Structures are given as structure tokens and as C-alpha cells.
Chain A
Amino acid sequence: MILGAARGVYYVATMLLFGGSAFETLLRAKLPVITPLRWQSLRWAVLILALLAALAWLGLAARQMADRLDGQILARTATDTLFGQIFLLRLVSLLGLTLLMTFRRCRKLAVALAALALALPAATSHAAQASPAGFIAIGATLDGVHLLACGFWIGGLAVLAMLFRRKEPNIHLALSLFSDGAIVAVMLLVMTGLINAASILLGHGTPAPLYLGVLGTKLALVAVMLGLAAINRFRLMPRAYDSMIPRNAALELGLGLTVVMLAGALGHLQPVL
């Protein structure tokens, strides 16, 4: 379960890094009227969390594979397994992001590196292993798109929460911009999620009850999130501004972070008996 938690924390951190940076870059480009956010210290905290979670994930996965953990096992895992090689690429992406954040350069490249750090684990996911006819790239791509779409939604909500907090006078413009991107992200999220779930569960054997239970909880929370997003978009936003929007968005963000932690646990559970 600790491995599932490490995976969940990694996803939460990289989603905040990717989605937050992507939506912030979009805000700077499309809405210069909004003063850029000052969330450097929070970004550093999230980046450090991502690095620590990545290291914990490596160590716990190595122990799971070898039943013990020492320097040799760790080195073998990092260099001789696909998971380890993907870990090294993730580490390079996060270290690259560290450099860019230190020198405050190339925002778009920072978004790309955060996207890589978030999407790369898809190559060793359940969806990748359950790819049609063994073509790992199909499942890995779908899962990567799933993670990025979720990242944009969660990270964008976090940026909106910061704008609400500082009582941004042009918040309705930011809401409208986020809404346009979030609709595309949610469509991609639902579509890839359905395909992934079908390819993982529609095999020979019986779906594992625990896996189904966690998946069902995750889907129920996503349904509530979609309901809140729809209320915000189609009922509250047309009134220009409504005091319920910040509350709903905060609730949506909280549910989103819970969903991501559940997704981390799902990656650790056996889907089919």
C-alpha cells in the first residue's frame, strides 16, 4: 500500500507541476491583463515532493521485485529494467525542470519537461501491459494522454484556486479560458479512461473485487467532479460571477487529488484474478 501511496503522491505532484505550468503559460499568452501568479515557493515544494516520491517509488518497486533492498538491487532495477530506465528519464526531466526553475527560463520547455515526468510512467502501466496484441505503445500512449488530460484539469484548478484567493478582478476571464481547455481535457480523460479500463478488465479471468471496488469509487468521485464542473460552467458562469464558483472549484480540486491517489493505488492492485 505504501508503494501505491508513493505512486499517488508522484502523480499528484507532477500533475500540479504540469497542469499548473501549462495553464499559467496559457494565461500569460492569452490574458496579459491578469498579473502573473507568484507561486514559486509552492512550485519548489511540489517539485521536491515529486523527486522524493519518485525515489520512494523506485526503492519500493525494487524491494517488491527482489524481496530485499540494497545498493546492488537498486542499481539493477535502475539500469536493467524498463521501469528503472523510465525512472532515469523521469529523473532527468525533473532535474531539467529544477534547472529551468532556478534560472527562471523557458516556460514552455518547463511545461514540456513536466509533461514528460508525468506521462513517462504510462510505459510500465497496466494499460501498457494490456495493450491489444502486445503493442505496448498503444496502451502506453492512451494512458499517457489520460495522465496529461487529468494533469491539466487538476493543475488548472489549483491555479484558479490561487487566483480566487488573491481576489483576482478578472477571474471571469480566467474561468472562461480554463473552461475551454478543461472541456477538451475531460473529454480525452473519459475516452482514454474507458478504453484503458476495458482493455485491462476484458481479458480471460474474473475482475478482482478489490480492484473493481477502488475503480468504482474512483469513477463515482469523477462523476461528482464532472457534475460540479458542469454546474460551474453552465449554470454559475453565465451569471458572470457567483460566490459558489470558488467553493465548487475547491471541492472539485479536493476530489481530484483524492481520485489521483486512488489511481496510484489501482496501479498497485491486481486487476484480474
Chain B
Amino acid sequence: MKKFVLLLLLTSSPAFAHAKLVGYDPAANASVKSPTMIKLKFSESLEPAFSTASLSDSAGKILPVPKSVGGATITLLPIGLKPGAYHVNWQAVGHDTHKLSGSFVFKVIP
């Protein structure tokens, strides 16, 4: 029994108990060539019905971008982004019904 408990504790994955953003591509404040995919990875599985992300340009205009939510990832598929600064705003709801939100910026270079 002790071994089992120890195994559980040692194999614990990062535990936040709320869906936190743990990885994203492009990275925040990165300068990249026009990306065709923006990936946001969260610490736990999301509720697709209430989790979303949007992309807006430097003027604050929200761009129509196909998106999908699956498992612990939100994916945006932009096409032909022009050089400039872009904001990614996200809202993540985990199975525990708690909501977290945030945003980051990246820059597209010619």
C-alpha cells in the first residue's frame, strides 16, 4: 500500500486543479513569420462548450479565424497574417467548471 501511495505521489503530473495555460506557440512577444497555426496548451482537459480563443490585430479588430478545442488544447488556424502585432485572448473552462482567461501578444514579421 505504501508503495502504491508513493508511486501515485511521484508520478503526479503538474497539478493546478484549474485549467491554466502551460504552453503556447507562437510564444508571447515572439516575432515570427506568418503562422498558419496558433496552439494553446492547458494544464487539464477543457470543456469545449465554454472554452475559446480569439485573434485580434493591433487595432483591436477580431479576425475571423477557424478554431477548435480538443482535450487540453485550443487551436487557431489563421491564414495570411500581415506583418504587425496580434493579440490572442483565451478563456479556458476545466471539467471542475472553473474559468480562467488571459491574453498574449506576438508579432508577425515580413
Which residues of A are interface residues toward B (Cβ below 8 A)? 61, 64-66, 76-77, 80-83, 123-126, 128-134, 136, 138, 191, 194-195, 198-205, 267, 270-272
Q: A76-B49, A81-B49 are in contact. Are A65 and B97 (CB under 8 A)?
A: yes
Identify which of B18, B93, B95 gathers the most chain A CB atoms within 10 Å of its CB: B95
Number of A-B residue pairs with CB-CB distance less than 8 Å in the complex they form: 102
Output the nearest chain B residue to A128 by Cβ-Cβ distance.
B95
A82 to chain B, nearest CB (A): 5
Contact of A124 among B9, B48, B49, B95 (CB under 8 A): B95
User: Do most interface residues of chain A lie in helix, strand or loop, or is the interface mixed?
Assistant: helix
Q: Report chain B residues within 8 Å CB of A198.
A: 8-9, 12
Once bound together, how far apart are the Cα atoms of A204 and B47, in whole Å? Answer: 22
Residue B59, interface by CB 8 Å: no
Output the nearest chain B residue to A57 by Cβ-Cβ distance.
B97
List 28 interface pairs A-B (beta carbons < 8 Å), by A numbering: A65-B47, A66-B50, A77-B49, A80-B47, A80-B49, A81-B93, A82-B47, A83-B47, A124-B97, A125-B96, A126-B17, A126-B96, A128-B95, A128-B96, A129-B15, A129-B18, A129-B96, A130-B15, A132-B13, A136-B95, A194-B5, A195-B9, A198-B8, A199-B15, A203-B15, A267-B96, A270-B98, A271-B17
Structural contact, A138 and B49, CB atoms closer than 8 A: no
Once bound together, how far apart are the Cα atoms of A133 and B14, in whole Å? Answer: 9
Once bound together, how far apart are the Cα atoms of A50 and B19, in whole Å? Answer: 28
